Amino acid sequence: MFTQSTKKDLNPAKISSIIFGVVLILLILLSIFPDFFTPFSPSASNYDNLLKSPSKSNLFGTDELGRDILSRVIYGTRVSLSVAFFTSTISLILGTVYGLISGIKGGLIDEILMKIVDIFYSIPDLLLISIFILLFGRGITGIIIALSLLSWMRIARITRANVIELKNRPFVLSAKVMGFSDLRIAFKEILPNILAPIIVTFSFTIPSSILAESTLSFLGLGISPPDVSWGLMANNGWQGIRSFPHLIIFPCLAIFISTVTFLKLGEYLKWSLK
């Protein structure tokens, strides 16, 4: 009886959620305490150990300067996840406030605000991000600002759509009759009722930001040395992909694992918050 119950409880979906939950916790720990997990300094060069394949002493091998790739991948976790988290948080705040104001005001104000969003959407992402990086500079801070200004529009649209759906509900109309201002109604009455779709959108923004930062760093528009990110490591290793494939395989594997993990988190939140 106990064995049958255990087998029933451990269905594939539950096992998958447990695995990705453990991976998520590990990614967070790696980003907060990289020194605890790294076997070597990520910037320490060893010219007697250049471009070594994975071995017992260097599990992921070494790069063209003899630096341990495992240590650099772990340190890249801090940069990549920090950029993704702060980008998603800023986008969440900007998009939510923007969508609330646009939806609750309606009329001409709503039309103008949505036209601005349409203008942003009409500009190619790469061109827009290049302009932002030129304005705010490369590096972690510049990338966070640039990606935030690129990714808030989706949250704004989702927030506005939910506000428009709720603004004529009885509890909102009664708040208007009581003389509450539009902003108070938006933030006190409507916002608590639309947090679920906003949180789900936020969770999906994180993997998008990881991919965006990695792509920009790979193209040479993102993180620059001495900082370490997975995209920058992939940029450094792609030229030697045939002779030294470990240079690009491991940072790309880190990007893949982290992206899938946060996508699974988003799917879990999507179903659990319904």
Q: Dump pLDDT digits (tens) for 116-168.
A: 998 888 888 878 888 888 888 777 888 888 888 888 888 999 999 988 888 88
Domain boundaries, the chain: 62-272
Both tokens assigned to 256: 């893949």
Range among 9-23, 188-202, 250-264 rated most confident: 250-264
Looking at CATH, the fold of the domain delimited by 62-272 is given as: MetI-like fold (1.10.3720)
Q: What is the pTM of this model?
A: 0.83
Euclidean distance between CA atoms 87 and 213, whole angstroms: 10
CA dihedral 235, 240, 245, 248 (to 10 degrees): 0
pLDDT tens for each residue of 125-135:
878 888 888 88
Q: Is the pLDDT of residue 6 over 50?
A: no
17 against 177, higher pLDDT: 177
